[in-house]
Structure 1
């Protein structure tokens, strides 16, 4: 029996309010409207941003409305398309994107940026182009985190925020390209533009940081210093290409002083993958004067970064990146191909696979630092 044009009843993990565990609920997912696609989510990675929003909302983060379906590292299969959709068909394998690529705006037409803002304000508030979401529960509208909401068995996505991928792609692996891996990997390749033979430092060895390590290695860096307060992460960082390991807890001096001494003047490239302004400052100050480049990758809405002008006047470059600089639709499809052709690691990031009803367990593992990346098997 076809579900096209019908409301689909399915399961979703609903956040009813900030700071409270997620509840598995039966939700209604409406058919797609014009230029929208309804997809069956097969798998979704659990990103630190999901956890941080749930437990940080109202504490300085930009408040988004509740109730809310979190999740933005999904992969699935097109179930139906709305009027006007020409690039997608039922059965296509796809990855939703929190950063759109409309292909028409000033940013999309420029090679200088990937920051398309098509329907940006709406999706940041958890709704689609018409100002509403397609998910409801108990008679209430349920918002879709970043316009996605991949912790639901079905969701509806704007066509400009969806990448079609090859049909032999394993969705429980390529879902990771929806955020963390793409962000860290692209930070090294696209933002830092790490050079062969260079020395790099990566601060923070979560999935984003490990992907940044991988990007530094693939760019030909000769020395990659992995920095984290959890020494248990160093062995995994070595697997991705790290050559040196520094735990700030092992030193009484500021970590930037340690790195400058280790490298006889500072690193050529530093990548901050924590989202902490103190670490950001340390990453900048660990760079070599005259040409060192620091890229801020970690996300925070809680604090302001203070920089000493001297650090920049002496030739250092400080910059940020969003989604690793990838033009999202094109970039994710390319990265999937790289993975399928053996040029990109993904399997090595997955530390746990859990069903949808164990999503709170996945958050606990993340909070305790006992997982790199948990993949949620949303549907079979």
Structure 2
């Protein structure tokens, strides 16, 4: 069959929107028609060539929502008509990480996912005989996509795709980092570095957890109104600082926050988030993605007093078993997703959406198919 998709042919070049070929689902796989997909920094990061191991060409996109149209033999948990969110963190339910209850890094999918192929070692995408690779097991910048059943979470059919798609990455990453990975306690203090889709979701998660003080830090002051709407009690931008953000937070809180979160994808923000966590009991959770060569540096004494530095992917959330509950928080009105979608675009406008993201002019641009 044919599908319209945005393709990264070469590192650092704009995505090309073309009609390409898509083979149907094989055993254990599912064909999904995408309805909406958010544009995430990770998509642009990978397409830029920042990952030395990444092979081209591939179809990016991983923050999507769609409808199952066809299932392969052996698929038992999904059927045509089901609404699903593609999972870049699959959940097979039987590998060691899945059954441990301690990790969402499914070992069944990881060996082939990084190579841009499905579990049989081949791709379903092609263009005039040339293989086009998959991305993060999702390739959601395509009107239709194919992936294993274990790479989809079944959700409520009445969930609005144009908003719920954000739970495919940003919202779940931020919310899970607070509620599951860091387990923020009621009455605590929280600082968030980077107020994009993930940072705003951290703020909402901290509010749900009952944090007493939530400090939003960003280079762009126009984001602060939305941060306060979502639950931030304080904001810090360049105009508010005489020194570093960490120094200001230490002064504001009398020593540092109970929890800090880095959601900017920058090592400078990571260093500040670590310093801003209380040196005796603070927890700093790193969430951003950076280039292969990037490093952060700390002195061992930074953690000897009790400060913890942790991190997670997709908030540590198990996609198939736990993500539907996060979707329910949104459909029940406990999460406010609509204000996060600042731009609604067509697939042909995808490079414009990436430009808006890099310029700090969007929280999330959503592609509607």
Q: TM-score, normalised by structure 1?
A: 0.94
- Which of residues 105, 116, 124 is equivalent to 2:95? 105
Are 2:282 and 1:282 aligned? no
Partner Cα distance (2:23, 2:346) in 1: 24
- Which of residues 317, 323, 327 is equivalent to 2:314? 323
The Cα shift of 1:83 comes to 1.2
- Which of residues 4, 10, 15 is equivalent to 1:17? 10
Q: How many residues are aligned here?
A: 368
- Which of residues 351, 354, 367 is equivalent to 1:360? 351
Partner Cα distance (1:114, 1:65) in 2: 24
Long gaps (5+) in structure 1 = 1-7
Task: Give deviations 1:14-66, integer Å, cap 9, x for gaps.
Answer: 111111111111111101111100111111111111111112x1x4x243111
Instruction: Tell me the secondary structure at the aligned position of residue 162 of structure 2.
Output: helix
Q: Does 292-301 or 38-47 show the bigger shift? A: 292-301
Are 2:35 and 1:42 aligned? yes
The Cα shift of 1:188 comes to 1.0
Partner Cα distance (2:163, 2:248) in 1: 37
Partner Cα distance (2:187, 2:289) in 1: 29
The Cα shift of 1:254 comes to 2.3
Q: What root-mean-square deviation, in Å, do the aligned CA atoms of Structure 1 and Structure 2 show?
A: 1.2
Instruction: Tell me the secondary structure at the aligned position of residue 144 of structure 1.
Output: coil
Instruction: Tell me the secondary structure at the aligned position of residue 295 of structure 2.
Output: coil
Q: Which residue is equivalent to 1:175?
A: 165
Partner Cα distance (2:338, 2:53) in 1: 34
The Cα shift of 1:116 comes to 1.5
The Cα shift of 1:249 comes to 5.2
Task: Give deviations 1:87-127, integer Å, cap 9, x for gaps.
Answer: 11111111110001111111111222222221212112211
Partner Cα distance (1:233, 1:376) in 2: 21
Q: Which residue is equivalent to 1:3?
A: none
Long gaps (5+) in structure 2 = none
Structure 1 contact 195–219 (Cα < 8 Å) conserved: yes
Q: Which residue is equivalent to 2:331?
A: 340
Structure 1 contact 201–267 (Cα < 8 Å) conserved: yes
Structure 1 contact 73–150 (Cα < 8 Å) conserved: yes
The Cα shift of 1:314 comes to 1.1
The Cα shift of 1:268 comes to 0.7
Q: Which residue is equivalent to 1:253?
A: 243
Instruction: Tell me the secondary structure at the aligned position of residue 159 of structure 2.
Output: coil
Partner Cα distance (1:326, 1:318) in 2: 19
Q: Which runs of 4+ in 1 moved over 3 A?
A: none
Partner Cα distance (2:333, 2:151) in 1: 26
